Chain A
Protein backbone atom coordinates (compact mmCIF):
# COMPACT_ATOMS: atom_id res chain seq x y z
CA UNK A 1 0.00 0.00 0.00
CA UNK A 2 1.29 3.43 -0.88
CA UNK A 3 1.43 5.94 1.96
CA UNK A 4 2.59 9.37 0.93
CA UNK A 5 1.99 11.00 4.31
CA UNK A 6 4.69 9.05 6.13
CA UNK A 7 8.00 10.75 6.69
CA UNK A 8 10.41 9.22 4.20
CA UNK A 9 14.03 10.03 3.51
CA UNK A 10 14.47 12.72 0.88
CA UNK A 11 16.35 11.51 -2.20
CA UNK A 12 18.73 13.18 -4.62
CA UNK A 13 19.19 12.04 -8.21
CA UNK A 14 22.80 11.99 -9.33
CA UNK A 15 23.78 13.82 -12.54
CA UNK A 16 24.56 10.41 -14.10
CA UNK A 17 20.99 9.27 -13.39
CA UNK A 18 19.53 12.53 -14.71
CA UNK A 19 21.46 12.14 -17.95
CA UNK A 20 19.93 8.66 -18.36
CA UNK A 21 16.50 10.26 -17.87
CA UNK A 22 17.38 12.84 -20.53
CA UNK A 23 18.25 10.09 -23.01
CA UNK A 24 14.93 8.35 -22.39
CA UNK A 25 12.87 11.52 -22.77
CA UNK A 26 14.60 12.29 -26.09
CA UNK A 27 12.85 9.24 -27.61
CA UNK A 28 9.42 10.86 -27.63
CA UNK A 29 7.94 13.80 -29.54
CA UNK A 30 8.09 17.29 -28.04
CA UNK A 31 5.72 17.66 -25.10
CA UNK A 32 5.20 13.86 -24.69
CA UNK A 33 7.91 13.45 -22.05
CA UNK A 34 5.42 11.66 -19.78
CA UNK A 35 5.96 8.58 -21.97
CA UNK A 36 9.28 8.20 -20.19
CA UNK A 37 7.63 7.60 -16.82
CA UNK A 38 7.74 3.80 -16.76
CA UNK A 39 11.38 3.43 -17.88
CA UNK A 40 12.41 6.23 -15.49
CA UNK A 41 10.73 4.52 -12.54
CA UNK A 42 12.67 1.35 -13.42
CA UNK A 43 15.91 3.36 -13.28
CA UNK A 44 14.93 4.86 -9.93
CA UNK A 45 14.17 1.42 -8.54
CA UNK A 46 17.46 0.03 -9.85
CA UNK A 47 19.29 2.89 -8.11
CA UNK A 48 17.52 2.89 -4.72
CA UNK A 49 16.07 -0.64 -4.54
CA UNK A 50 12.50 0.67 -4.31
CA UNK A 51 10.38 3.66 -5.28
CA UNK A 52 9.73 5.99 -2.35
CA UNK A 53 7.24 8.84 -2.30
CA UNK A 54 9.95 11.54 -2.29
CA UNK A 55 11.56 9.81 -5.29
CA UNK A 56 8.22 9.85 -7.09
CA UNK A 57 7.81 13.55 -6.32
CA UNK A 58 11.24 14.18 -7.81
CA UNK A 59 10.31 12.21 -10.94
CA UNK A 60 7.11 14.27 -11.26
CA UNK A 61 9.13 17.45 -10.99
CA UNK A 62 11.59 16.22 -13.62
CA UNK A 63 8.83 15.27 -16.08
CA UNK A 64 6.76 18.43 -15.32
CA UNK A 65 3.71 16.36 -14.35
CA UNK A 66 1.68 16.16 -11.14
CA UNK A 67 2.87 13.82 -8.36
CA UNK A 68 -0.44 11.95 -8.52
CA UNK A 69 0.29 11.02 -12.14
CA UNK A 70 3.38 9.22 -10.89
CA UNK A 71 1.68 7.63 -7.85
CA UNK A 72 -1.14 6.20 -9.92
CA UNK A 73 1.29 4.57 -12.32
CA UNK A 74 3.63 3.26 -9.62
CA UNK A 75 0.72 1.65 -7.77
CA UNK A 76 -0.86 0.17 -10.92
CA UNK A 77 2.13 -1.75 -12.23
CA UNK A 78 3.30 -4.71 -10.19
CA UNK A 79 7.04 -4.37 -10.76
CA UNK A 80 7.52 -1.22 -8.70
CA UNK A 81 8.26 -1.79 -5.01
CA UNK A 82 6.59 0.75 -2.76
CA UNK A 83 8.32 -0.65 0.33
CA UNK A 84 12.02 -1.36 0.91
CA UNK A 85 12.94 -4.90 -0.17
CA UNK A 86 15.85 -7.23 0.28
CA UNK A 87 18.89 -6.58 -1.87
CA UNK A 88 17.85 -9.56 -3.98
CA UNK A 89 14.16 -10.10 -4.62
CA UNK A 90 13.42 -13.64 -5.80
CA UNK A 91 10.28 -13.48 -7.93
CA UNK A 92 8.92 -16.95 -8.63
CA UNK A 93 6.33 -17.59 -11.32
CA UNK A 94 3.21 -19.12 -9.76
CA UNK A 95 0.91 -19.45 -12.80
CA UNK A 96 -0.45 -22.66 -14.29
CA UNK A 97 2.40 -23.86 -16.52
CA UNK A 98 5.00 -23.51 -13.79
CA UNK A 99 2.72 -25.02 -11.14
CA UNK A 100 2.40 -28.16 -13.27
CA UNK A 101 6.13 -28.68 -12.92
CA UNK A 102 6.46 -27.82 -9.25
CA UNK A 103 6.57 -24.04 -8.74
CA UNK A 104 4.60 -24.28 -5.51
CA UNK A 105 7.16 -26.67 -4.02
CA UNK A 106 9.95 -24.31 -5.04
CA UNK A 107 8.20 -21.45 -3.24
CA UNK A 108 7.79 -23.60 -0.13
CA UNK A 109 11.47 -24.43 -0.31
CA UNK A 110 12.47 -20.77 -0.64
CA UNK A 111 10.27 -19.82 2.30
CA UNK A 112 11.87 -22.55 4.39
CA UNK A 113 15.43 -21.76 3.31
CA UNK A 114 15.19 -18.01 3.81
CA UNK A 115 12.99 -18.30 6.89
CA UNK A 116 10.74 -15.41 5.88
CA UNK A 117 7.22 -15.26 4.51
CA UNK A 118 6.31 -13.90 1.09
CA UNK A 119 6.98 -10.14 0.95
CA UNK A 120 9.16 -10.06 4.08
CA UNK A 121 12.86 -9.22 4.20
CA UNK A 122 15.49 -11.48 5.80
CA UNK A 123 17.12 -9.99 8.94
CA UNK A 124 20.42 -9.45 7.10
CA UNK A 125 18.55 -7.35 4.53
CA UNK A 126 19.75 -9.54 1.65
CA UNK A 127 16.67 -11.38 0.47
CA UNK A 128 12.98 -11.14 -0.02
CA UNK A 129 10.77 -13.27 -2.23
CA UNK A 130 7.31 -13.27 -3.74
CA UNK A 131 5.16 -15.18 -6.19
CA UNK A 132 4.45 -13.36 -9.43
CA UNK A 133 2.16 -14.09 -12.34
CA UNK A 134 3.27 -15.69 -15.62
CA UNK A 135 6.77 -14.65 -16.69
CA UNK A 136 6.50 -15.96 -20.27
CA UNK A 137 8.92 -18.84 -19.78
CA UNK A 138 6.36 -21.64 -19.41
CA UNK A 139 8.48 -24.19 -21.28
CA UNK A 140 11.39 -23.88 -18.86
CA UNK A 141 9.58 -23.85 -15.53
CA UNK A 142 9.79 -23.47 -12.66
CA UNK A 143 11.42 -20.08 -13.16
CA UNK A 144 12.38 -17.13 -11.05
CA UNK A 145 13.80 -13.71 -11.86
CA UNK A 146 15.93 -11.29 -9.90
CA UNK A 147 15.91 -7.56 -10.56
CA UNK A 148 17.05 -4.98 -11.40
CA UNK A 149 18.66 -6.85 -14.32
CA UNK A 150 15.78 -9.35 -14.32
CA UNK A 151 18.10 -12.28 -14.89
CA UNK A 152 16.24 -15.54 -15.37
CA UNK A 153 16.84 -18.80 -13.58
CA UNK A 154 15.06 -21.67 -15.31
CA UNK A 155 14.23 -25.35 -14.65
CA UNK A 156 14.62 -24.79 -10.92
CA UNK A 157 15.18 -27.58 -8.44
CA UNK A 158 15.65 -27.33 -4.68
CA UNK A 159 19.37 -27.86 -5.23
CA UNK A 160 19.69 -25.12 -7.86
CA UNK A 161 17.78 -22.72 -5.60
CA UNK A 162 20.14 -23.53 -2.70
CA UNK A 163 23.12 -22.90 -4.94
CA UNK A 164 21.65 -19.64 -6.21
CA UNK A 165 21.04 -18.37 -2.68
CA UNK A 166 24.55 -19.27 -1.49
CA UNK A 167 26.07 -17.70 -4.63
CA UNK A 168 24.16 -14.50 -3.97
CA UNK A 169 25.27 -14.49 -0.33
CA UNK A 170 28.89 -14.85 -1.45
CA UNK A 171 28.42 -12.12 -4.06
CA UNK A 172 26.99 -9.75 -1.45
CA UNK A 173 30.02 -10.25 0.82
CA UNK A 174 32.50 -9.19 -1.85
Chain B
Protein backbone atom coordinates (compact mmCIF):
# COMPACT_ATOMS: atom_id res chain seq x y z
CA UNK B 1 0.00 0.00 0.00
CA UNK B 2 1.55 3.26 -1.11
CA UNK B 3 1.69 6.38 1.01
CA UNK B 4 -1.03 8.95 0.55
CA UNK B 5 0.11 12.52 1.03
CA UNK B 6 -2.77 14.37 -0.62
CA UNK B 7 -5.77 12.08 -0.35
CA UNK B 8 -5.05 10.49 3.05
CA UNK B 9 -8.14 11.97 4.68
CA UNK B 10 -10.36 12.14 1.60
CA UNK B 11 -12.92 9.72 3.06
CA UNK B 12 -13.27 11.47 6.42
CA UNK B 13 -16.86 12.77 6.66
CA UNK B 14 -16.94 16.57 6.55
CA UNK B 15 -13.32 16.93 5.41
CA UNK B 16 -14.54 19.69 3.07
CA UNK B 17 -15.25 21.88 6.12
CA UNK B 18 -12.60 23.91 7.91
CA UNK B 19 -13.09 22.39 11.36
CA UNK B 20 -12.80 18.75 10.32
CA UNK B 21 -9.88 19.53 8.01
CA UNK B 22 -8.12 21.39 10.83
CA UNK B 23 -8.72 18.55 13.29
CA UNK B 24 -6.88 16.22 10.87
CA UNK B 25 -3.78 18.39 11.02
CA UNK B 26 -4.83 20.80 8.29
CA UNK B 27 -3.24 24.25 8.03
CA UNK B 28 -0.24 23.06 10.08
CA UNK B 29 2.02 23.98 7.15
CA UNK B 30 0.70 27.56 7.20
CA UNK B 31 1.63 27.91 10.87
CA UNK B 32 5.03 26.33 10.31
CA UNK B 33 5.83 28.36 7.19
CA UNK B 34 4.60 31.77 8.27
CA UNK B 35 5.88 31.61 11.84
CA UNK B 36 9.18 29.75 11.56
CA UNK B 37 10.39 29.91 7.95
CA UNK B 38 11.60 32.59 5.57
CA UNK B 39 10.19 32.69 2.02
CA UNK B 40 13.63 31.68 0.69
CA UNK B 41 13.70 28.67 3.02
CA UNK B 42 10.32 27.51 1.66
CA UNK B 43 11.54 27.79 -1.93
CA UNK B 44 14.62 25.81 -0.87
CA UNK B 45 12.47 23.01 0.63
CA UNK B 46 10.39 22.78 -2.55
CA UNK B 47 13.60 22.61 -4.60
CA UNK B 48 14.94 19.83 -2.37
CA UNK B 49 11.69 17.88 -2.71
CA UNK B 50 12.25 17.47 -6.45
CA UNK B 51 8.56 18.23 -7.03
CA UNK B 52 7.82 18.45 -10.74
CA UNK B 53 4.89 20.38 -12.19
CA UNK B 54 1.85 18.14 -12.07
CA UNK B 55 -0.01 19.86 -14.90
CA UNK B 56 1.75 17.92 -17.62
CA UNK B 57 5.08 19.52 -18.47
CA UNK B 58 6.89 18.13 -15.42
CA UNK B 59 9.11 21.19 -14.95
CA UNK B 60 10.64 21.35 -11.43
CA UNK B 61 8.38 23.59 -9.34
CA UNK B 62 11.14 24.87 -7.04
CA UNK B 63 13.20 25.98 -10.02
CA UNK B 64 10.18 27.73 -11.55
CA UNK B 65 9.73 29.61 -8.28
CA UNK B 66 13.38 30.62 -8.11
CA UNK B 67 13.13 32.28 -11.56
CA UNK B 68 10.53 34.75 -10.27
CA UNK B 69 11.79 38.32 -10.72
CA UNK B 70 11.57 40.47 -7.60
CA UNK B 71 11.81 44.12 -8.62
CA UNK B 72 11.19 46.64 -5.81
CA UNK B 73 7.70 48.05 -5.55
CA UNK B 74 6.12 45.77 -8.20
CA UNK B 75 3.34 43.37 -7.22
CA UNK B 76 3.98 39.64 -7.69
CA UNK B 77 1.25 37.12 -8.36
CA UNK B 78 0.64 33.45 -7.84
CA UNK B 79 -1.99 32.01 -10.17
CA UNK B 80 -3.25 28.49 -9.68
CA UNK B 81 -4.05 26.67 -12.91
CA UNK B 82 -7.27 24.74 -12.43
CA UNK B 83 -8.24 24.76 -16.09
CA UNK B 84 -7.94 20.95 -16.27
CA UNK B 85 -9.22 20.35 -19.78
CA UNK B 86 -6.87 17.65 -21.02
CA UNK B 87 -9.06 14.73 -22.09
CA UNK B 88 -8.55 11.92 -19.62
CA UNK B 89 -7.65 14.15 -16.68
CA UNK B 90 -10.03 14.78 -13.80
CA UNK B 91 -7.83 14.71 -10.70
CA UNK B 92 -7.99 18.44 -9.93
CA UNK B 93 -11.77 18.48 -10.05
CA UNK B 94 -11.77 15.56 -7.60
CA UNK B 95 -9.28 17.19 -5.24
CA UNK B 96 -11.09 20.54 -5.21
CA UNK B 97 -14.50 18.95 -4.76
CA UNK B 98 -13.64 16.75 -1.81
CA UNK B 99 -10.74 18.42 -0.05
CA UNK B 100 -10.79 22.11 -1.07
CA UNK B 101 -8.90 23.30 2.01
CA UNK B 102 -5.80 21.40 0.90
CA UNK B 103 -5.53 23.66 -2.15
CA UNK B 104 -6.18 26.78 -0.09
CA UNK B 105 -3.56 25.75 2.46
CA UNK B 106 -1.07 25.21 -0.35
CA UNK B 107 -1.97 28.57 -1.89
CA UNK B 108 -1.29 30.42 1.37
CA UNK B 109 2.13 28.81 1.87
CA UNK B 110 3.11 29.22 -1.80
CA UNK B 111 1.93 32.83 -1.96
CA UNK B 112 3.97 33.60 1.16
CA UNK B 113 7.03 31.95 -0.37
CA UNK B 114 6.68 34.02 -3.54
CA UNK B 115 5.78 37.29 -1.81
CA UNK B 116 2.34 37.55 -3.43
CA UNK B 117 -0.36 39.45 -1.59
CA UNK B 118 -3.13 38.72 -4.10
CA UNK B 119 -3.51 35.28 -5.64
CA UNK B 120 -6.00 33.83 -8.08
CA UNK B 121 -7.28 30.32 -8.62
CA UNK B 122 -8.35 30.09 -12.27
CA UNK B 123 -10.85 27.30 -12.90
CA UNK B 124 -12.39 26.24 -16.18
CA UNK B 125 -15.86 27.71 -16.54
CA UNK B 126 -17.55 24.31 -16.42
CA UNK B 127 -16.36 23.92 -12.83
CA UNK B 128 -18.95 26.28 -11.35
CA UNK B 129 -19.73 23.81 -8.53
CA UNK B 130 -16.02 23.85 -7.61
CA UNK B 131 -16.01 27.67 -7.76
CA UNK B 132 -18.76 27.66 -5.14
CA UNK B 133 -16.98 25.02 -3.03
CA UNK B 134 -13.70 26.95 -3.04
CA UNK B 135 -15.35 30.30 -2.33
CA UNK B 136 -17.09 28.79 0.68
CA UNK B 137 -13.81 27.28 1.89
CA UNK B 138 -12.01 30.60 1.40
CA UNK B 139 -14.67 32.38 3.48
CA UNK B 140 -14.21 29.79 6.25
CA UNK B 141 -10.42 30.15 6.23
CA UNK B 142 -10.74 33.92 6.27
CA UNK B 143 -13.10 33.81 9.26
CA UNK B 144 -10.52 31.74 11.13
CA UNK B 145 -7.72 34.22 10.41
CA UNK B 146 -5.84 32.15 7.78
CA UNK B 147 -6.54 34.63 4.99
CA UNK B 148 -6.96 38.38 4.80
CA UNK B 149 -4.99 40.95 6.78
CA UNK B 150 -2.25 40.00 9.24
CA UNK B 151 -2.58 36.21 8.94
CA UNK B 152 -2.08 34.52 12.35
CA UNK B 153 -0.58 37.75 13.64
CA UNK B 154 2.50 37.43 11.45
CA UNK B 155 1.89 40.65 9.51
CA UNK B 156 1.46 38.80 6.20
CA UNK B 157 -1.61 39.79 4.14
CA UNK B 158 -3.16 37.62 1.43
CA UNK B 159 -6.36 37.85 -0.58
CA UNK B 160 -7.39 34.78 -2.55
CA UNK B 161 -9.95 34.86 -5.38
CA UNK B 162 -11.49 32.22 -7.63
CA UNK B 163 -11.89 33.10 -11.30
CA UNK B 164 -14.00 31.02 -13.71
CA UNK B 165 -12.96 30.76 -17.37
CA UNK B 166 -15.29 30.44 -20.32
CA UNK B 167 -14.72 26.94 -21.66
CA UNK B 168 -11.51 26.80 -23.67
CA UNK B 169 -8.89 24.05 -23.53
CA UNK B 170 -6.19 26.49 -24.59
CA UNK B 171 -6.49 28.40 -21.29
CA UNK B 172 -4.65 25.55 -19.58
CA UNK B 173 -1.52 26.92 -21.29
CA UNK B 174 -0.10 29.35 -18.77
CA UNK B 175 0.18 32.48 -20.93
CA UNK B 176 -3.28 31.89 -22.45
CA UNK B 177 -4.57 31.50 -18.91
CA UNK B 178 -3.10 34.88 -17.97
CA UNK B 179 -4.68 36.49 -21.04
CA UNK B 180 -8.01 34.97 -20.05
CA UNK B 181 -7.60 36.17 -16.48
CA UNK B 182 -7.07 39.67 -17.88
CA UNK B 183 -10.45 39.39 -19.62
CA UNK B 184 -9.19 38.65 -23.12
CA UNK B 185 -9.33 35.84 -25.68
CA UNK B 186 -7.15 32.92 -24.64
CA UNK B 187 -4.40 33.45 -27.19
CA UNK B 188 -1.03 32.23 -25.87
CA UNK B 189 1.73 34.83 -25.67
CA UNK B 190 5.11 34.54 -27.31
CA UNK B 191 7.79 33.58 -24.79
CA UNK B 192 10.09 35.21 -23.73
CA UNK B 193 9.30 37.16 -21.71
CA UNK B 194 8.27 34.33 -19.43
CA UNK B 195 5.53 34.91 -16.85
CA UNK B 196 8.22 34.90 -14.14
CA UNK B 197 9.36 38.24 -15.59
CA UNK B 198 6.16 39.64 -17.11
CA UNK B 199 3.00 37.69 -16.37
CA UNK B 200 -0.35 38.86 -15.03
CA UNK B 201 -0.78 42.61 -15.70
CA UNK B 202 2.87 42.63 -16.80
CA UNK B 203 4.01 41.75 -13.28
CA UNK B 204 6.19 38.76 -12.27
CA UNK B 205 3.89 35.76 -11.95
CA UNK B 206 4.10 32.07 -11.17
CA UNK B 207 1.45 29.75 -12.63
CA UNK B 208 1.20 26.32 -10.98
CA UNK B 209 -1.17 23.39 -11.35
CA UNK B 210 -3.67 22.61 -8.55
CA UNK B 211 -1.92 19.37 -7.63
CA UNK B 212 1.54 21.00 -7.55
CA UNK B 213 0.28 23.60 -5.09
CA UNK B 214 -1.44 20.97 -2.97
CA UNK B 215 1.84 18.99 -2.86
CA UNK B 216 3.58 21.95 -1.23
CA UNK B 217 1.61 21.18 1.95
CA UNK B 218 3.22 17.76 2.70
CA UNK B 219 6.58 19.11 1.52
CA UNK B 220 6.53 21.85 4.15
CA UNK B 221 5.08 19.58 6.84
CA UNK B 222 7.60 16.78 6.38
CA UNK B 223 10.50 18.58 4.74
CA UNK B 224 11.71 18.43 1.14
CA UNK B 225 14.19 15.65 1.84
CA UNK B 226 11.53 13.37 3.27
CA UNK B 227 9.28 14.00 0.25
CA UNK B 228 12.14 13.22 -2.11
CA UNK B 229 12.56 9.78 -0.52
CA UNK B 230 9.20 8.73 -1.96
CA UNK B 231 9.14 7.76 -5.60
CA UNK B 232 11.90 6.66 -7.90
CA UNK B 233 14.90 8.59 -9.25
CA UNK B 234 13.94 12.06 -10.42
CA UNK B 235 10.24 11.19 -10.17
CA UNK B 236 9.77 12.07 -6.52
CA UNK B 237 6.67 12.02 -4.36
CA UNK B 238 3.17 10.92 -5.11
CA UNK B 239 1.04 11.65 -8.15
CA UNK B 240 -2.69 11.69 -8.70
CA UNK B 241 -3.65 9.49 -11.64
CA UNK B 242 -7.05 9.91 -13.26
CA UNK B 243 -7.93 6.46 -14.51
CA UNK B 244 -10.72 6.22 -17.05
CA UNK B 245 -11.90 4.34 -20.11
CA UNK B 246 -12.60 0.60 -20.06
CA UNK B 247 -11.33 -0.09 -16.56
CA UNK B 248 -13.07 -2.10 -13.89
CA UNK B 249 -12.56 0.59 -11.25
CA UNK B 250 -12.05 3.98 -12.89
CA UNK B 251 -11.33 6.91 -10.59
CA UNK B 252 -8.60 9.05 -9.08
CA UNK B 253 -5.70 7.18 -7.48
CA UNK B 254 -2.79 8.61 -5.56
CA UNK B 255 0.26 6.51 -6.35
CA UNK B 256 3.87 6.64 -5.27
CA UNK B 257 5.70 7.32 -8.50
CA UNK B 258 7.37 4.10 -9.65
CA UNK B 259 4.45 1.70 -9.37
CA UNK B 260 4.59 -0.77 -12.29
CA UNK B 261 1.99 -0.03 -14.97
CA UNK B 262 0.87 -3.65 -14.92
CA UNK B 263 0.19 -3.43 -11.19
CA UNK B 264 -1.63 -0.14 -11.64
CA UNK B 265 -3.97 -1.59 -14.26
CA UNK B 266 -4.55 -5.06 -12.89
CA UNK B 267 -4.16 -5.01 -9.10
CA UNK B 268 -7.24 -4.67 -6.93
CA UNK B 269 -5.62 -1.84 -5.02
CA UNK B 270 -5.84 0.28 -8.16
CA UNK B 271 -7.91 -0.19 -11.32
CA UNK B 272 -8.72 -3.88 -10.87
CA UNK B 273 -8.18 -4.82 -14.51
CA UNK B 274 -10.19 -4.27 -17.66
CA UNK B 275 -13.96 -3.99 -17.39
CA UNK B 276 -16.26 -6.84 -18.50
CA UNK B 277 -13.40 -9.35 -18.68
CA UNK B 278 -12.06 -7.87 -21.91
CA UNK B 279 -8.43 -7.59 -22.91
CA UNK B 280 -6.33 -4.46 -23.01
CA UNK B 281 -5.65 -3.03 -26.46
CA UNK B 282 -4.02 0.34 -25.89
CA UNK B 283 -3.36 3.01 -23.30
CA UNK B 284 -3.05 6.77 -23.34
CA UNK B 285 -0.95 7.27 -20.23
CA UNK B 286 -0.89 10.99 -19.60
CA UNK B 287 -3.82 12.78 -21.16
CA UNK B 288 -4.85 12.84 -24.82
CA UNK B 289 -1.76 14.80 -25.94
CA UNK B 290 0.77 12.09 -25.21
CA UNK B 291 1.47 9.28 -27.69
CA UNK B 292 -0.91 6.32 -27.50
CA UNK B 293 0.80 2.98 -26.89
CA UNK B 294 -0.36 -0.57 -27.67
CA UNK B 295 -0.74 -2.89 -24.69
CA UNK B 296 2.58 -4.67 -25.16
CA UNK B 297 4.57 -1.42 -25.14
CA UNK B 298 2.78 0.15 -22.20
CA UNK B 299 3.39 -2.90 -19.99
CA UNK B 300 7.02 -3.47 -21.03
CA UNK B 301 9.63 -1.17 -22.50
CA UNK B 302 11.30 -2.08 -25.76
CA UNK B 303 14.14 -3.61 -23.68
CA UNK B 304 11.62 -5.91 -22.04
CA UNK B 305 11.80 -4.22 -18.65
CA UNK B 306 8.61 -3.62 -16.70
CA UNK B 307 7.34 -0.12 -17.39
CA UNK B 308 6.76 2.00 -14.28
CA UNK B 309 4.47 4.92 -13.61
CA UNK B 310 7.23 7.54 -13.52
CA UNK B 311 8.33 10.40 -15.73
CA UNK B 312 11.44 8.53 -16.89
CA UNK B 313 10.09 5.04 -17.36
CA UNK B 314 7.05 6.11 -19.37
CA UNK B 315 9.22 8.17 -21.68
CA UNK B 316 11.74 5.36 -22.09
CA UNK B 317 12.20 4.78 -25.80
CA UNK B 318 11.31 8.37 -26.71
CA UNK B 319 8.43 8.71 -29.12
CA UNK B 320 9.45 5.58 -31.00
CA UNK B 321 8.33 3.16 -28.32
CA UNK B 322 7.55 5.36 -25.31
CA UNK B 323 5.12 8.02 -24.20
CA UNK B 324 4.91 10.55 -21.33
CA UNK B 325 3.46 10.78 -17.83
CA UNK B 326 1.92 14.14 -18.74
CA UNK B 327 -0.92 15.17 -16.49
CA UNK B 328 -1.66 11.63 -15.35
CA UNK B 329 -4.80 11.18 -17.44
CA UNK B 330 -4.76 7.42 -17.90
CA UNK B 331 -7.22 6.10 -20.50
CA UNK B 332 -7.39 2.36 -21.13
CA UNK B 333 -8.88 0.98 -24.34
CA UNK B 334 -10.21 -2.54 -24.48
CA UNK B 335 -10.23 -4.90 -27.47
CA UNK B 336 -13.47 -3.38 -28.81
CA UNK B 337 -12.11 0.14 -29.11
CA UNK B 338 -11.51 1.50 -32.60
CA UNK B 339 -8.21 3.33 -32.77
CA UNK B 340 -9.14 5.17 -35.97
CA UNK B 341 -12.35 6.47 -34.46
CA UNK B 342 -10.54 7.47 -31.27
CA UNK B 343 -7.84 9.29 -33.21
CA UNK B 344 -10.52 11.12 -35.18
CA UNK B 345 -12.18 12.01 -31.86
CA UNK B 346 -8.91 13.51 -30.56
CA UNK B 347 -8.27 15.34 -33.84
CA UNK B 348 -11.75 16.87 -33.70
CA UNK B 349 -11.05 17.94 -30.13
CA UNK B 350 -7.84 19.75 -31.08
CA UNK B 351 -9.43 21.33 -34.13
CA UNK B 352 -12.25 22.58 -31.94
CA UNK B 353 -9.87 23.90 -29.30
CA UNK B 354 -7.17 25.47 -31.47
CA UNK B 355 -7.20 29.20 -30.73
CA UNK B 356 -6.50 30.01 -34.38
CA UNK B 357 -3.48 32.18 -33.78
CA UNK B 358 -0.85 30.09 -35.63
CA UNK B 359 -1.63 28.86 -39.16
CA UNK B 360 -0.01 25.39 -38.86
CA UNK B 361 -2.25 24.49 -35.93
CA UNK B 362 -5.42 26.28 -37.08
CA UNK B 363 -5.31 24.71 -40.56
CA UNK B 364 -3.46 21.50 -39.78
CA UNK B 365 -5.81 20.33 -37.04
CA UNK B 366 -8.74 20.89 -39.39
CA UNK B 367 -7.17 18.85 -42.16
CA UNK B 368 -6.24 16.03 -39.81
CA UNK B 369 -9.81 15.90 -38.60
CA UNK B 370 -11.18 15.79 -42.15
CA UNK B 371 -8.81 13.04 -43.28
CA UNK B 372 -9.43 10.94 -40.17
CA UNK B 373 -13.16 11.40 -40.56
CA UNK B 374 -13.06 10.00 -44.08
CA UNK B 375 -10.89 7.09 -42.97
CA UNK B 376 -13.33 6.25 -40.18
CA UNK B 377 -16.33 6.43 -42.47
CA UNK B 378 -14.87 4.26 -45.19
CA UNK B 379 -13.77 6.86 -47.74
CA UNK B 380 -10.05 6.80 -46.97
CA UNK B 381 -7.13 6.23 -49.29
CA UNK B 382 -3.89 4.33 -48.70
CA UNK B 383 -1.96 7.57 -49.02
CA UNK B 384 -3.92 9.16 -46.16
CA UNK B 385 -1.68 7.73 -43.46
CA UNK B 386 1.43 9.34 -44.93
CA UNK B 387 -0.55 12.53 -45.46
CA UNK B 388 -1.54 12.60 -41.79
CA UNK B 389 2.02 12.02 -40.63
CA UNK B 390 3.18 14.76 -42.99
CA UNK B 391 0.62 17.26 -41.67
CA UNK B 392 1.46 16.37 -38.07
CA UNK B 393 5.17 16.95 -38.73
CA UNK B 394 4.37 20.37 -40.13
CA UNK B 395 2.41 21.39 -37.05
CA UNK B 396 4.85 20.00 -34.49
CA UNK B 397 7.28 22.64 -33.25
CA UNK B 398 5.91 25.35 -35.54
CA UNK B 399 3.45 26.98 -33.17
CA UNK B 400 3.63 29.51 -30.33
CA UNK B 401 2.29 27.14 -27.70
CA UNK B 402 2.41 23.36 -27.21
CA UNK B 403 -1.19 22.79 -28.39
CA UNK B 404 0.24 22.20 -31.86
CA UNK B 405 2.49 19.43 -30.56
CA UNK B 406 -0.34 18.07 -28.46
CA UNK B 407 -2.51 17.79 -31.57
CA UNK B 408 0.24 16.23 -33.68
CA UNK B 409 1.50 13.55 -31.29
CA UNK B 410 -1.64 11.44 -30.83
CA UNK B 411 -2.19 11.25 -34.58
CA UNK B 412 1.43 10.45 -35.43
CA UNK B 413 1.68 7.83 -32.66
CA UNK B 414 -1.61 6.14 -33.57
CA UNK B 415 -0.37 5.68 -37.13
CA UNK B 416 3.07 4.57 -35.92
CA UNK B 417 1.69 1.81 -33.71
CA UNK B 418 -1.63 0.91 -35.35
CA UNK B 419 -0.92 1.40 -39.06
CA UNK B 420 -2.39 -1.99 -39.93
CA UNK B 421 -5.71 -0.94 -38.44
CA UNK B 422 -5.74 2.28 -40.48
CA UNK B 423 -4.92 0.30 -43.63
CA UNK B 424 -7.68 -2.17 -42.84
CA UNK B 425 -10.10 0.78 -42.73
CA UNK B 426 -9.12 1.52 -46.35
CA UNK B 427 -9.02 -2.03 -47.71
CA UNK B 428 -12.18 -3.18 -45.89
CA UNK B 429 -14.05 0.10 -45.98
CA UNK B 430 -17.59 -1.26 -45.86
CA UNK B 431 -16.75 -3.70 -43.08
CA UNK B 432 -14.95 -1.00 -41.10
CA UNK B 433 -18.12 1.00 -40.60
CA UNK B 434 -19.93 -1.96 -39.11
CA UNK B 435 -17.34 -3.75 -37.00
CA UNK B 436 -14.05 -3.15 -35.24
CA UNK B 437 -10.61 -4.33 -36.17
CA UNK B 438 -10.06 -6.01 -32.84
CA UNK B 439 -6.93 -6.54 -30.85
CA UNK B 440 -4.53 -7.94 -33.51
CA UNK B 441 -0.87 -8.64 -33.01
CA UNK B 442 -0.08 -5.81 -30.63
CA UNK B 443 -2.30 -7.66 -28.22
CA UNK B 444 -2.21 -7.66 -24.52
CA UNK B 445 0.85 -9.87 -23.91
CA UNK B 446 -0.48 -11.19 -20.64
CA UNK B 447 -1.56 -14.82 -20.51
CA UNK B 448 -5.27 -15.37 -20.87
CA UNK B 449 -6.71 -17.77 -18.38
CA UNK B 450 -8.77 -20.26 -20.37
CA UNK B 451 -12.27 -20.57 -19.06
CA UNK B 452 -13.68 -24.07 -18.96
Contacts and interface: CB of A to CB of B under 8 A. Distances in A.
A38 B183 contact: yes
Nearest to B92: A136
A66 interface: no
A77 B166 contact: yes
B385 interface: no
Interface string A97-120: 101110000000000000000000
Interface string B165-192: 1111100000000001111111000000
A53 B404 CA distance: 33
B87 A100 contact: no
A136 B337 contact: no
Nearest to B83: A136
Interface in B149-208: 159, 161, 163-169, 180-186, 201
B402 interface: no
Interface stretch (B58-66, B121-129, B317-325, B431-439): B121-129
B352 interface: yes
A149 B129 CA distance: 7
A42 B90 contact: no
Contacts of A134: 85-88, 169, 288, 349
B201 A29 contact: yes
A63 B185 CA distance: 16
Q: Which of B85, B183, B352 has the most CB of A within 10 A?
A: B183
B107 to A, nearest CB: 15
Contacts of B163: 27, 35, 38-39
A42 B125 contact: yes
A36 B183 contact: yes
Contacts of A96: 87-88, 245, 284, 288, 331, 342, 345-346, 349
Contacts of B84: 136
B185 A138 contact: no
B87 A138 contact: yes
Interface string A26-46: 010100101111110110000
A95 interface: yes
B126 A150 contact: yes
Given A38-B180, A100-B246, A136-B90, A152 B129 contact: yes
Contacts of A153: none
B332 to A, nearest CB: 8
A139 B90 contact: yes
Given A77-B166, A78-B167, A141-B244, A35 B93 contact: no
B252 interface: yes
A145 interface: yes
A42 B163 CA distance: 11
A32 B252 contact: no
B333 interface: yes
Given A34-B183, A96-B342, A100-B333, A77 B246 contact: no
A95 B349 contact: yes
A77 B166 CA distance: 5
Given A73-B185, A96-B331, A97-B88, A145 B126 contact: yes
A151 interface: yes
A154 B168 CA distance: 21
Nearest to A70: B183
B402 to A, nearest CB: 17
B140 interface: no
Given A96-B88, A96-B345, A76 B353 contact: no
Nearest to A139: B250
Interface of B: 75, 84-90, 92-93, 118, 124-129, 159, 161, 163-169, 180-186, 201, 242-246, 250-252, 284, 288, 329, 331, 333-334, 337, 341-342, 345-346, 349, 352-353, 355
